[in-house]
Amino acid sequence: MRELVIQGWRVGFDKIKLTKVLRAEFGMSLLEGKSITDKVLDNEQVRISLDDHALDEEQFLSCLRAIGVEAWISV
């Protein structure tokens, strides 16, 4: 099972962009996206299944890193 693992954030983290990216890529509601963003801010690890999603993993990870998110893909 492939999962996106979001471990934390760095200085310059853009919480609004993370919520927008999660909503756009995974079809989440605003409440779901904001809930995950809040968990990231609280330094909780978040795992999102990628099994039903076709995405360019490297490009997506690059996008997350650009907005200050520490993330990787777990297999």
Which pLDDT tens digit goes with each residue over 29-55? 999 999 999 999 999 999 999 988 788
Q: Which of 3.90.180.10, 3.30.70.260, 3.30.1390.10, 3.90.1150.10 would CATH assign to domain 3-74?
A: 3.30.1390.10
Q: How far apart are CA 61 and CA 57, in angstroms?
A: 6
Residues 15/37, Cβ–Cβ less than 8 Å: yes
Quote the pTM value.
Answer: 0.89
Q: How confident is the model at residue 1 (pLDDT cuts 50, 70, 90)?
A: confident
Query: For residue 56, is pLDDT > 90?
Result: no
Give whole-number Cα distances, 19 to 1, 16, 49, 60, 75, in Å: 24, 5, 17, 14, 24
**DSSP H or E run through 45:** none
Tell me the one-letter amino acid at 72: W
